[in-house]
Chain A
């Protein structure tokens, strides 16, 4: 019963996401450059999001999976453009 209710994939996914959170915490524990810290945060956050999307949300399971991937990629495109573009116009590129 326990095996049936707690499939290995889900348990592994959960453990993995906890581990990733701890790795992310390391940016506070160790002395490192800003760039290095940001790199770690980006990698761990993206990995965590992927765990949720692929494992828990089953994005690839239905007949519409192409649409779903396109949708997410499009949304990320718009999101990244909004964030980086705003920083570009309002901060980095401001005189």
Chain B
């Protein structure tokens, strides 16, 4: 048995020690490399202090890819452990830690940043803006997210990982039953990252509402921009709930309050309630932008405008409201009455309707289109049937009485992976391939892209379809092993093989990145896919100021019609462009957040308070700072445009 003593460095697990050593070696070699190639200045000036939405987006995606790797290794370990009955790869405690970190990382540190990264790169370009509404705040958002992700990830070597599941239900997550600092990491790191996300939400709502190019009314916005708007509205109103829930968790665990306690009037299930009040909207936060991405890709490669634009918008608005009234479907079996379960059953089924509307819209967009089967399009096409399976099993789970059968079984695990992987992972990969040339000026290799696609899609089904059957046969989730007599062995082995295939698919994807950076031909046009929306109207890579002249919009897909009719989107002389200046403050302030969070994890209150004061000092400095940005002169615009191959619009 594992000892539950509190340790500072985790030294009794060979696997963790190995990881620790490789992290230290990796970090050291990066530091040495930066010094050797004299890149510190470059890193600081061009990336760490940047307020450019495109670079911030790239950094988000970079972190997300690293986290995909980390979460993926966790997943492989779990599938490896359960591949055979009574396997000894992981013990119970280690398995608990790994499904917890896998879930948290995949949702909060992989899916969220990947999506927010794409939002950052694309949204301002799609609406013809020079940057986001609050560029400095955007940098703060990113660095807070990075601080949160960093804090969460060091848990497994310093102090121990959280082990109460990604949903961290009480009483299991209470100090009594989870005495290590693991769950302190959970509450504090998610708190820090969540603050960053909330600021992103505010930033993009204002950006989209106030900074669209002249003539672009709301109903002329690209569908991705619409999805971003709705997503960020949900973020603004859902994340405060998480903030409160996490704060109460911290207080219960570290200050002895009784919110979720089992005595003195506490109510353990109140945590589950709050968690899912945030949690269900969160599901739509990661799914709606994906819908937007697929809409763009499908209409681009079917060479048709999106079918039913209005119904798409209406269904998203409906989802944004309905997503707040379904949360109790996550705990039908908690013990509340028939009335409550019926209400939430009905709202849950209702939310399937607008989602279904969207599926039909995509199908009708494809209908009679001239489809080109590029890599992003393949992901979008595969998404439709796979996501539909996820959706249909979701409706099965939505029926409260039937859920007593499925609840907490592998059926549920299969369901949510069938929703999250096509819905979010396929979408971000498709978007990654689609917008990559915009940011870097060359496309990813299509052959390797397609190879990865087939690996990922087929392996995904091999990995997860068996789980439906296992679930119906009674295998529960979060179960670290089982006896041979259960008969679960063969299907679990099959699932493991699928998981390995998925891993290979992701490796090919990363290899493609490397290959394309070295060998891919440059795209001179700025519009390699012959696409429809404004981001393709400027150069690739995009100059800092995005558009030399702000485009004027007359219709939806204005760029497409401008191309077809050979009419420029803008004219007239260049004017000096006002840009925000870079700043190192967001980075430093997030450093203080990280330090304060770390100290608070271990209840070292005095240093934690000192670092918290530092945070406020940074805020005060910012308040007194007078920063009016700078102007890019007309000559410089002309020079840049010439270098990038001439006036685009």
Is the CB of B389 closer than 8 A to any CB of chain A?
Answer: no
Is the CB of A94 closer than 8 A to any CB of chain B?
Answer: yes
Cross-interface CB contact of B337 among A75, A82, A95, cutoff 8 Å: A95
A71-93 near B? 1/0 per residue, CB < 8 Å: 00011011001100110111001
A50-66 near B? 1/0 per residue, CB < 8 Å: 00000000000000100
Is the CB of A26 closer than 8 A to any CB of chain B?
Answer: no
Q: A78-B237, A90-B269, A90-B273 are in contact. Are A85 and B327 (CB under 8 A)?
A: yes
Residues of the B chain whose Cβ atoms lie less than 8 Å from the Cβ of A90? 267, 269-270, 273, 336
Per DSSP, chain B at the interface is: helix
Residue of A nearest to B237 (CB): A78
Q: A78-B324, A81-B324 are in contact. Are A88 and B237 (CB under 8 A)?
A: no
**Contact across chains for B277 and A88 when beta carbons are under 8 A apart:** no
Is the CB of A21 closer than 8 A to any CB of chain B?
Answer: no
Q: How far is the CA of A81 from the CA of B327 in the complex (A)?
A: 11
B298-337 near A? 1/0 per residue, CB < 8 Å: 0000000000000000000000010011011000001111
Q: How far is the CA of A82 from the CA of B275 in the complex (A)?
A: 12
Residue of B nearest to A86 (CB): B273
Q: How far is the CA of A46 from the CA of B161 in the complex (A)?
A: 46
Q: How far is the CA of A74 from the CA of B334 in the complex (A)?
A: 29
**Contact across chains for A85 and B337 when beta carbons are under 8 A apart:** no
Residues of the B chain whose Cβ atoms lie less than 8 Å from the Cβ of A93? 336-337, 339-340
Residues of the B chain whose Cβ atoms lie less than 8 Å from the Cβ of A95? 335-337
Residues of the A chain whose Cβ atoms lie less than 8 Å from the Cβ of B262? none
**Contact across chains for B324 and A77 when beta carbons are under 8 A apart:** yes
Residues of the B chain whose Cβ atoms lie less than 8 Å from the Cβ of A74? 233, 237
Q: How far is the CA of A94 from the CA of B270 in the complex (A)?
A: 12
**Contact across chains for A82 and B340 when beta carbons are under 8 A apart:** no
Q: How far is the CA of A94 from the CA of B267 in the complex (A)?
A: 12
Cross-interface CB contact of B321 among A75, A77, A85, A88, cutoff 8 Å: A77
Residues of the A chain whose Cβ atoms lie less than 8 Å from the Cβ of B321? 77
Residues of the B chain whose Cβ atoms lie less than 8 Å from the Cβ of A77? 321, 324
**Contact across chains for B277 and A86 when beta carbons are under 8 A apart:** yes
Q: A90-B270, A94-B335, A95-B337 are in contact. Are A85 and B233 (CB under 8 A)?
A: no
Residue of A nearest to B270 (CB): A90
Q: How far is the CA of A67 from the CA of B336 in the complex (A)?
A: 38
User: Smallest CB–CB gap between A62 and chain B, Å?
Assistant: 11
Is the CB of B241 closer than 8 A to any CB of chain A?
Answer: yes
User: Smallest CB–CB gap between B127 and chain A, Å?
Assistant: 16
Q: How far is the CA of A86 from the CA of B340 in the complex (A)?
A: 11
Residues of the B chain whose Cβ atoms lie less than 8 Å from the Cβ of A82? 241, 277, 324
Q: How far is the CA of A81 from the CA of B324 in the complex (A)?
A: 8
**Contact across chains for A88 and B233 when beta carbons are under 8 A apart:** no
User: Smallest CB–CB gap between A82 and chain B, Å?
Assistant: 6
Further contacts, 13 of them, CB under 8 A, given A86-B273, A86-B277: A78-B237, A82-B277, A85-B325, A88-B340, A89-B334, A90-B267, A90-B270, A90-B336, A93-B337, A93-B340, A94-B336, A95-B335, A95-B336
Q: Which residues of B contact A (CB under 8 A)?
A: 209-210, 233, 237-238, 241, 267, 269-270, 273-274, 277, 321, 324-325, 327-328, 334-337, 339-340, 343
Can you give 19 contacting A-B residue pairs, CB < 8 Å?
Answer: A75-B237, A77-B321, A77-B324, A78-B238, A78-B324, A81-B325, A82-B277, A82-B324, A85-B277, A85-B327, A86-B270, A88-B340, A89-B273, A89-B334, A89-B340, A90-B267, A93-B340, A94-B336, A94-B337
